[in-house]
Amino acid sequence: MNREHINDGDVRSPDRALRAVVFDLDGVLVDSFGVMREAFEIAYREVVGAGEPPFEEYSQHLGRYFPDIMTIMDLPLEMEEPFVRESYRLAHRVRMFDGVPELLGALHQQGLRFAVATGKSGPRARSLLDTLGVLPLFDHVIGSDEVAHPKPAPDIVLRALELLKVDAADAVMVGDAVSDLASARAAGVRALAALWGESDPAPLLDAEPDAALKNPEELLTWCLDAAR
């Protein structure tokens, strides 16, 4: 599948109608990149001290659980406490992407069910969605601390399917990281790439998602077509 074609929102026709959508959180539903950068830099300077915080490298691993990223980057796990603390402190600055409230409203009217499967911890994800006033829209919000193996393993998507009571063939996962797509594929779920956040689109397109959408409006069209 060539990159130009998939970037135009190419759709592989599903055999069964869409019943549920599993969303990643950061970079898909909410624009938290600036807050994430600030929290990471504060945590790095507090725990490591000298040197420039390697946020660009950190951002290449988004979608994974924070302690897993620290292990990959050979950074102290002690960075998690100040990172989480600052993330809570700055949460009021996080906003939903333009078009996401309308997307959720339209899909809800269509009768689709929603889950969030995020690299964040469950309590932090639920707190953020509650702060934004949209937590009741989601049937389930699952954090990486609530499954045995976080993304790119399939556990979090499989847990979402279990809670939503739908088969893999009836669901789709929307993510902005290769780890999201890998988790979806390993769970047998169609994988959609969200290209409207800060993530580099090239690795997402190279992973050959079932569709790559430029904005929430394109995702809405895809989901409505798939739900018929």
Mean pLDDT confidence for 174-181: 96
Q: Model confidence over 121-166: pLDDT tens digits? A: 999 999 999 999 999 999 999 999 999 999 999 999 999 999 999 9
The mean pLDDT of the chain is 92
Asked if 15 and 66 sit in the same domain, the reply is no
Give the type of residue at 115: A
Q: State the number of CA atoms in the 13 A half-sphere of 109 facing the CB.
A: 8
| Helices (H) then strands (E): counts for the chain | 11, 8
Asked if 85 and 111 sit in the same domain, the reply is no
Asked if 63 and 139 sit in the same domain, the reply is no
Asked if 189 and 76 sit in the same domain, the reply is no
Given 26, 31, 155, 170, which residue is catalytic?
26
Domain boundary among 43, 68, 93: 93
Domain that holds residue 202: 3-31+94-226
Residue 3 pLDDT > 50: no
Residues, the chain, total? 228
Asked if 154 and 174 sit in the same domain, the reply is yes
Residue 36 pLDDT > 60: yes
Residue 7 pLDDT > 80: no
Q: What percentage of the chain carries pLDDT values higher than 90?
A: 89
Mean pLDDT confidence for 168-179: 97
Q: What's the number of domains the chain is made of?
A: 2
Active site residue 24: yes
Contact (Cβ atoms closer than 8 angstroms) between residue 30 and residue 97: yes
Q: H/E element holding 158?
A: helix 155-164
CATH of the domain at 183: 3.40.50.1000
pTM score, whole prediction: 0.90
Q: Assign residue 49 a region: left if phi > 0, alpha if psi is -120 to 50, beta otherwise?
A: left
Q: Model confidence over 199-217: pLDDT tens digits? A: 889 999 999 999 999 999 9
Q: Which residues of 95-131 are buried (b: 16+ CB within 10 A; e: fewer)?
A: ebbeebbebbebbeeeebbbbbbbbbbbebbbbbbee
Band of residue 73 on the pLDDT scale cut at 50, 70, 90: very high
Active site residue 98: no
Asked if 158 and 125 sit in the same domain, the reply is yes
Mean pLDDT confidence for 175-183: 96
Asked if 211 and 157 sit in the same domain, the reply is yes
Asked if 116 and 166 sit in the same domain, the reply is yes
* Tokens encoding 57: 């490298």
pLDDT of res. 9: 44
Asked if 129 and 207 sit in the same domain, the reply is yes
Asked if 19 and 37 sit in the same domain, the reply is no
Given 8, 24, 130, 176, which residue is catalytic?
24
Q: State the number of CA atoms in the 13 A half-sphere of 223 facing the CB.
A: 32
Mean pLDDT confidence for 35-58: 96
Q: Model confidence over 137-149: pLDDT tens digits? A: 999 999 999 999 9
- More reliable by pLDDT, 50 or 103: 103
Closest CA to 117 of 151, 154, 142, 96: 142
Asked if 135 and 176 sit in the same domain, the reply is yes
Asked if 87 and 98 sit in the same domain, the reply is no
